[in-house]
Every structure is written in C-alpha cells, then in structure tokens.
Amino acid sequence: MPVIVIANPKGGVGKSTLATNVAGCLAAHRAAVMLGDVDRQQSSRQWLAQRPAALPAIRGWDVDPGEIVRPPKGTTHVVLDTPAGLHGKRLDAVLKIADRMLIPLQPSLFDIQATHAFVQALRQHKRGADLAVGVVAMRVREHTLAHEQLQHYLRTLPVPLVASLRDTQNYVQLAARGLTLWDVAPGRVERDLQQWAPLVEWLTR
C-alpha cells in the first residue's frame, strides 16, 4: 500500500491543494484512496465532507473507540497531508511509513529558504536515501522575476522537479465543493491536466 506524503514545514505553500488533487487523481485511476492528516485535527475531513457521494470515493481515517486512527480496510493508496512545522519526532514518524514524498513549493524567497532547509534535513535523515522525493512548483506565474528565481533555485536542488502548476482559481473553486481536477469536464481544466501529466506519471509508475 503506497503512502504518499505531501510535506513542507512552511505553511501556505499549497500542501492541501496538492494532497486533495493527488487523492482525486488516484481515485480517478480506480485506486481505493485514503486522504488524511498526520496530526490529530484531521482537517482533511473538512474537504472530504464537501465531496459529493457520486464521485470516485476518497475516504478518511477510520477512528476506533480508543481513538486510534488507521486506513480503512481495502485501502490501496494513502495520501497524507502534513501540518506546518513538520520536524523532529513527527517528521520521524512520517518518514517511517512514507514511500514517496512530494514537496510543494511556491516561488517566494521565504518558501525557498524553508524548503532548502527541509530538503537538507531529509538528506541527512536515515530514511532519506530510500525515499522517492519530488518537488512540485505551485502557483507559478511564468515570465515573472519570482518564476526566474525559482527556476534558478530548482537547478541547485538535489531533488527533481516533478511538475509546475500555474496560479489559477480553478483549484480554489473546486476545493470549495470537495472537487478535484478529475471531477469536472476535462475541457474546463485542460491546461491544468496537461501540467499534471508528468506528476500523474510519477504517481502511477
């Protein structure tokens, strides 16, 4: 059962946007997907609560009477949306179960600095060499100085860039209804699906 972790200790980089759409992508490819948080707040349930029942199922944690959380029976893929400030024992716990990690990164100096430190921590971790890690550039606006600075930084990063996703209201509007790019007519989000193509290949290979 692959466990795909979406992580970056910097808040506001697009972790939840990426996590929900990764889950939606896998569900559209007929995987039995669980989407959850590694912290006790379980904020992903708020998005799941908005998701129409007729769409490909994405489930949350099963919580038993002892408040122990676990993936539902039959789950084939797990997507974990992690909180800001992920480090120390919490990071250790995540890396212990992770098979793959996606690091969302926005084109800003603060995000780049936080991501640089996080990648260095991953490389020094005992599980760092075994983990498949990729970066996803979020809210990209081409032909801007910020985009140029991001591209320069990514060339120095020892982690591959998996995909660059544009800055669009599609993600905001879909999230408000518990939807992903794979839950609407393809023509409506054609450009976004094209940008996701290398990421889909990374997820499903």
- Mind listing the pLDDT tens digit for each residue in 179-205? 999 999 999 999 999 999 999 999 987
Cβ atoms of residues 132 and 163 within 8 Å: no
For residues 9-24, b (16+ Cβ closer than 10 Å) or e, as one string? Answer: bbeebbbbbbbbbbbb
Query: pLDDT tens digits, residue range 52-89?
Result: 999 999 999 877 655 567 888 999 999 999 888 888 88
* Tokens standing for residue 73: 């029976």
What is the model's pTM? 0.92
| 45/181: higher pLDDT | 181
* Tokens standing for residue 133: 């890690």
pLDDT band at 143 (very low <50, low <70, confident <90, very high): confident
Closest CA to 120 of 91, 98, 146, 82: 91
**How confident is the prediction for the chain on average, in pLDDT?**
89
54, amino acid identity: A
Kindly tell me if the per-residue pLDDT of 128 is higher than 70.
yes
Q: What are phi and psi of 134, to 5 degrees?
A: -140, 155
* Cβ neighbours, 10 Å, residue 50: 12
Average of per-residue pLDDT across 91-118? 88
Q: What distance in Å separates the CA atoms of residue 22 and residue 142, rounded to the nearest whole number? A: 23
* Cα–Cα distances in angstroms (integers) from residue 50 to residues 54, 174, 178, in the given order: 12, 10, 5
Which SS3 state, helix, strand or coil, does residue 40 take? Answer: coil
pLDDT band at 39 (very low <50, low <70, confident <90, very high): low
42, amino acid identity: Q
Q: In order of start, what are the domains of the chain with their CATH numbers?
A: 3-204 (3.40.50.300)
Kindly tell me if the per-residue pLDDT of 11 is higher than 60.
yes
* Cβ neighbours, 10 Å, residue 190: 10
Average of per-residue pLDDT across 92-109? 90
Q: Where are the beta strands (DSSP E) in 50-155?
A: 58-59, 62-63, 69-70, 77-81, 100-105, 132-140
